């Protein structure tokens, strides 16, 4: 993963591109604001050549190529390398951030890092065990770091051979063993390859402690060093020609991967990234390539788009767009002995359901130890997912988003005329209401037990299912609704139901309609599912809600104030009432969310609008708003 200087968001834009489609701002997020390459004359020439030739041809097979990845739905991402044997501790000192960045964070000299690699001997590594853990958890594809930013090839490469497993005490080829195990158990197999960031190669961007190279923490030559110092570019091209492309082609010819996953494209100019993509397409046009290889602000040349690292919320993308989220079990991707922030199993089950309900895939990361074993908390998470998947897999693998409006109790996935109701927040009353579902129902049952549910009924509001027949799964109880016929998506589907029987009704800024100049989205991490760029009074947010039953609600707003001297006067209009509130510009800054309780409101039954407006903005822009929260006592 890359060093985070400033993150913008998940999946890339107000709307996303599919292959040839061009949409503005498709690359927001994917970890850094500058993880796209602004086309200079050099890059425009490369774009023209690609779009008139090889890339245009590759688009023809894109739908067929992407089909297997899309159907796979859920995959295992593995960050494993020389760094894994240290667990983010070097010579008794704790590293910072991602454990796989240990070499950079501790500025370990290249030669010393290579010498440390000789001790790498993962005696507990068992490819079969890794793949079976993934398979049992319902995962259908598997991606392993063949070379991360440290430049070390985790296979016996003939290019930079000293910086490969040939130099370790471990004389086997773990990539070959994993490829064989994946093929045996029916998982798609692929590699992560750090194409633009290499701390070993003296010609590559990144290492500025051994060499005077751009692309590192010192930012020699600036972020766009290739434009500021074009005389440095031939050196980077040598790295691409002599190591990156040869190793990628080596991986393709030696292991026949289904997938290739790239990262940090902003370390090289777009022209070089396009050259690498062309080499892949020439070697094997059937390989699926992710969206962090070659892109401009207006177009992505990969097969699908990626979220930022560690997302917890997703904002809506264009219908039919291909995207993938990349959570990790704690806060590091490589194994970190000091990171105890593992999320509960339910977090990942719900994240998978949320992604599938919005048309995306989940690639869940695991960071194995240096001895080749999985960390105990990771095994616990995978086994917990496996237990849930054993009964509920059909509700999240190779399914589609539902055309129904958003519900507060959970999300809905679908397969033809079957709806899967994923209940995260069990209502307090006697029934669960699926707002807007008025189509004829053939049957309702629990997926985990196959038990039929009786006594349900429909009216103009939606489908009502008695709760006394529904078990409570702490992670996600799935209810199967078989309809008499399939249902089509409405022309507009921006409605959000509000249910007094659900503990918390959340109107996320991600789901708001934006008015005035477009705002940007946060990257979806914890307390970063906000909008930013709210600079004038003509901009505001609006939600269309449908209240299932009249009730009195407590009203709050949540926001992040991470820039000093920002704030101002705002107003929330809801239920015919205006709540005025202020955010003190002198109040402390923090990356964590703040909450303001505004009061209470009696909301009538039915459809109504909610608006959040700025009366006065202090500073360059308003604070970053996360959501409006409605609770019923």
Distances (CA, A) of 297 to 29, 33, 282, 303: 11, 10, 25, 16
* 303 vs 297: CA distance, rounded Å: 16
Rounded CA separation 360/258 (Å): 19
Which run of H or E residues covers position 457?
A: strand 457-458
What confidence tens digit (pLDDT) does each residue in 52-107 have? Answer: 999 999 999 899 999 999 999 999 999 999 999 999 999 999 999 999 999 999 99
The pLDDT score that the predictor gives to residue 471 is: 84
Would you say 368 and 84 are in contact if contact means Cβ atoms under 8 Å apart? Answer: yes
Q: Strands, E, within 68-198: which ranges?
A: 74-78, 89-90, 93-94, 141-147, 188-193
- Contact of 407 with 434, CB cutoff 8 Å: yes
- Per DSSP, the three-state class of 294 is coil
pLDDT for position 603: 97
Measured CA to CA, the distance from residue 328 to residue 335 in angstroms comes to 11
Q: What is the pLDDT of residue 37?
A: 63
Q: Which stretches of 563-605 are assigned E, i.e. beta strand?
A: 567-574, 577-583, 593-603
Is 12:27 a contact under the CB 8 Å cutoff? yes
Nearest to 480 by CA among 529, 445, 430: 445
Q: Which domains does the chain have, with CATH numbers?
A: 64-395 (3.20.20.80), 400-492 (2.60.40.1180), 505-632 (2.60.120.260)
For the chain, 633 residues long, the average pLDDT of each consecutive 10-residue run is 36 34 33 57 93 92 94 98 98 96 98 96 98 98 98 97 95 96 98 97 97 97 95 97 98 98 96 97 97 89 94 85 95 97 98 97 98 98 98 97 95 97 95 95 96 96 95 91 87 85 97 96 96 96 97 98 96 97 96 97 97 96 97 92
C-alpha torsion sign, points 541, 542, 548, 551: positive
Of the candidates 99, 74, 109, 35, the residue with the CA atom closest to the CA atom of residue 375:
99
For residue 547, is it left (φ>0), alpha (ψ between -120 and 50) or beta?
beta
pLDDT of residue 491: 54
């Amino acid at each position: 993963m890359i060093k985070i200087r400033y993150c913008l968001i998940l999946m890339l834009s107000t709307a996303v591109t599919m292959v040839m489609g061009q949409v503005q701002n498709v690359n927001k997020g994917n970890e850094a604001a500058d993880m796209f390459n602004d086309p200079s004359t050099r890059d425009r020439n490369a774009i023209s050549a690609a779009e008139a030739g090889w890339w245009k041809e590759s688009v023809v097979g894109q739908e067929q190529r992407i089909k297997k990845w899309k159907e796979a739905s859920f995959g295992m991402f593995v960050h494993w390398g020389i760094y894994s044997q240290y667990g983010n501790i070097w010579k008794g000192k704790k590293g910072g951030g991602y454990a796989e960045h240990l070499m950079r964070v501790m500025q370990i000299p290249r030669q010393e890092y290579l010498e440390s690699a000789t001790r790498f001997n993962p005696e507990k590594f068992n490819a079969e065990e890794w793949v079976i853990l993934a398979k049992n958890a319902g995962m259908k594809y598997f991606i392993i770091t063949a070379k991360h930013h440290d430049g070390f090839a985790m296979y016996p490469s003939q290019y930079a051979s000293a910086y490969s497993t040939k130099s370790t005490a471990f004389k086997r080829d773990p990539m070959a063993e994993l490829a064989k195990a994946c093929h045996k158990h029916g998982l798609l197999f692929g590699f992560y390859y750090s194409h633009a960031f290499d701390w070993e190669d003296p010609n590559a961007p990144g290492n500025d402690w051994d060499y005077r190279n751009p692309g590192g923490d010192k930012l020699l030559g600036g972020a766009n060093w290739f434009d500021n110092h074009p005389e440095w570019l031939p050196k980077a091209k040598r790295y691409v020609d002599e190591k990156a492309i040869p190793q990628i082609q080596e991986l393709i010819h030696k292991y026949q991967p289904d997938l290739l996953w790239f990262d940090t494209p902003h370390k090289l100019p777009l022209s070089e990234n396009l050259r690498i993509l062309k080499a892949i397409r020439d070697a094997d046009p059937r390989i699926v390539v992710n969206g962090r290889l070659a892109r401009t602000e207006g177009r992505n040349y990969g097969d699908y788009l990626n979220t930022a690292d560690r997302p917890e919320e997703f904002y809506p993308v264009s219908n039919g767009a291909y995207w993938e989220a990349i959570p990790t079990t704690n806060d590091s991707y490589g194994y970190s002995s000091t990171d105890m922030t593992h999320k509960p199993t339910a977090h990942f089950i719900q994240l998978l359901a949320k992604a599938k309900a919005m048309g995306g895939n989940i690639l869940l990361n695991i960071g194995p130890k240096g001895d080749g074993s999985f960390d105990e908390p990771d095994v616990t998470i995978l086994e917990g997912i496996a237990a849930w998947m054993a009964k509920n897999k059909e509700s999240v693998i190779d399914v589609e988003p539902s055309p129904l409006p958003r519900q507060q109790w959970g999300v809905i996935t679908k397969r033809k005329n079957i709806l899967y109701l994923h209940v995260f927040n069990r209502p307090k009353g006697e029934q669960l209401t699926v707002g807007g579902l008025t189509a004829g129902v053939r049957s309702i049952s629990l997926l985990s037990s196959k038990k039929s549910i009786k006594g349900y009924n429909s009216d103009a509001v939606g489908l009502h299912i008695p709760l006394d027949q529904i078990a409570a799964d702490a992670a996600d109880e799935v209810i199967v609704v078989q309809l008499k016929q399939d249902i089509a998506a409405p022309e507009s589907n921006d409605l959000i139901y509000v249910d007094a029987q659900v503990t918390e009704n959340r109107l996320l800024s991600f789901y708001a309609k934006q008015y005035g100049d477009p705002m940007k989205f946060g990257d979806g991490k914890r307390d970063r599912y906000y909008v930013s760029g709210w600079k004038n009074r003509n901009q505001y947010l609006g939600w269309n809600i449908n209240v299932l039953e009249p009730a009195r609600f407590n009203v709050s707003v949540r926001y992040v104030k991470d820039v000093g001297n920002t704030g101002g006067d705002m107003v929330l209009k809801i239920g015919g009432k205006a709540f005025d509130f202020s955010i003190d510009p002198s109040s402390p800054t923090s990356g964590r969310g703040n909450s303001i309780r505004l009061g209470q409101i009696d909301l009538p039954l039915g459809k109504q609008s909610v608006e959040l407006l700025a009366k006065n903005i202090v500073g360059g822009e308003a604070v970053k708003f996360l959501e409006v929260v409605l609770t019923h006592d």
